Amino acid sequence: MDNTPRILVFAGSARKESLNRKLAAAAHQMIQDAGGVSTLLDAAEVSLPLYNQDLEENGLPEEALRLKKIFAEHDALLIASPEYNSSITPFLKNLIDWVSRPTEGEEMTAQFRGKVAGLVSASPSGLGGMRALVHVRDILGNIGVLVIPEQKAIPNAFDVFDEEGKIQDENVVKGVRTVVESLVASTQKLKG
């Protein structure tokens, strides 16, 4: 059986110049270098309404179904999460909430249970978004995701990416690569 980990990478921000979208793109490349199969889900192409249970009256919206299918095709998640008021962004929480919703006959949070996740963050501040990662880790853990202990929060991130979105600082590259390599190895082990 092919046990190459299939990893879904995305950012918790849809902003045009998002630092975390750049970080997700960099991690996507590193996953492939580490022997994983990576899909980069562009947050800017996600168009989910703000979650409201009334919107499920006639079944889940097409966009939620599309995302659930993409999640189902992957073994692991690599999330680049910004920090808003020391926590998760509404964009990321909304995405998690929609994907967690079951279709008929399906268990709640089926697209999360048994998956592995790695977390990274980028912020212009000195803490690099690490307070958000505490909350993202907690949320994912509570819906059955095994979040690996390695994580990387990148402070002063406006100075870290060049025009093409490439990470300029070798120590930062090393930190993100540590997360990626651990995610690939952990997922591979769990897949047997």
User: Of 80 and 183, which CB lies nearer to ligand FMN in the complex structure?
Assistant: 80
List the interface residues with ligand FMN, window 122-151 (CB under 6 A). Answer: 123-125, 127, 129
User: Of 102 and 124, which CB lies nearer to ligand FMN in the complex structure?
Assistant: 124
Tell me how crowded residue 144 is: count the other CB atoms within 10 A of its CB.
15
Select from 17-25, 29-37, 44-52, 159-167 the region that touches ligand FMN (CB under 6 A). Answer: 17-25
Q: Write down the least CB distance from residue 159 to ligand FMN, Å.
A: 12
Select from 32-40, 52-60, 117-125, 172-180 the region that touches ligand FMN (CB under 6 A). Answer: 117-125
**Under the criterion CB under 6 A, does residue 165 sit at the interface with ligand FMN?**
no
**Under the criterion CB under 6 A, does residue 20 sit at the interface with ligand FMN?**
yes
Query: Distance (Å, rounded) from C-alpha 138 to C-alpha 147?
Result: 9
Q: How would DSSP label each residue in 97-112? A: HHHHS--TTPPTTTTT
Residue 115 · residue 76 · CB < 8 Å: yes
Query: Distance (Å, rounded) from C-alpha 140 to C-alpha 17?
Result: 26
List the interface residues with ligand FMN, window 73-92 (CB under 6 A). Answer: 82-86
CA distances from 57 to 52, 64, 65, 169 (A): 10, 14, 14, 49
Pick the closest to residue 68 from 96, 88, 37, 91 (CA basis).
96
Q: Write down the least CB distance from residue 65 to ligand FMN, Å.
A: 26
Q: Write down the least CB distance from residue 31 to ligand FMN, Å.
A: 19
Query: Distance (Å, rounded) from C-alpha 183 to C-alpha 30?
Result: 11
**Binding footprint of ligand FMN on the chain (CB under 6 A):** 13, 15, 18-20, 82-86, 123-125, 127, 129
